Amino acid sequence: MNRALFLDRDGVINIDKGHVHKVEDFEFCNGIFDLCRYFAEENFVIVVITNQAGIAKNFYKTSDFYKLDKWMVEQFEEYGVDILRTYFCPHHPDFTGKCKCRKPNPGMLLNASKDLNIDLSRSIFIGNKESDIEAGIRAGIPSNILFTSQDVETKATMVLSHLNELKMELLKL
């Protein structure tokens, strides 16, 4: 079975400017390429797990999301990093009703596990919100890492203020 490094997108891969859907607004977070390369070399597959309520709110279309995702994956490829797949939730409870995929629900993680033969009990999730941590916990992921420079109360395994600080020996896997 595969081990995965699951990454939230907005706020982890790119700076969260709110409903980012254009290449020109997509600014990679410092250290994200090196972090991904490090875990790829440790034989983790890399999977993106992202809420995209902007689609439900009609700020942008699914086709805009796909276009930006394709461009993002190409930037990682140029750096020698393979993003295996991106899962996104296009819903929002106020606009499209409840769903099983929107984090903190674990739906996207459970689907990824099934589709990509991922052992969640040996995987990692990095998010910038408590809803990411909650989704990881509900999915049975042991290492849920909160990437933030703020001092917050969290159920996360650890809080990370710089992406380059994350190393295997800090994780319980």
Q: Contacting Zn ion (CB under 5 A), which of 101, 109, 146, 160?
A: 101
Our CB check for Zn ion shows the closer of 48 and 101 to be 101
Tokens of 6: 């699951």
| Stretch in the footprint of Zn ion (CB under 5 A) among 42-50, 96-104, 110-118, 133-141 | 96-104
C-alpha distances out from residue 12 to 49, 57, 81, 92, 93, Å: 11, 22, 16, 21, 23
Tell me the three state secondary structure of residue 129: coil
Instruction: Tell me whether residue 99 or residue 116 sits nearer to Zn ion (CB atom).
Output: 99
Binding of residue 103 to Zn ion (CB under 5 A): no
Cα separation, 65 vs 77, in Å, equals 18
89 part of the interface to Zn ion, by CB under 5 A? yes
Q: Is the preceding peptide bond at 104 cis, omega within 30 degrees of 0?
A: yes
H or E element in which residue 74 lies? helix 62-78
Residues 31-70 that bind Zn ion (CB under 5 A): none
**Is 133 near Zn ion (CB under 5 A)?**
no
Just list the catalytic residues: 8, 10
With contacts defined by CB under 5 A, name the span among 21-29, 92-100, 124-132, 145-153 that binds Zn ion: 92-100
CB contact at 8 A, 120 and 140: yes
- Please report, as ranges, the residues that interact with Zn ion according to CB under 5 A: 89, 91, 99, 101-102
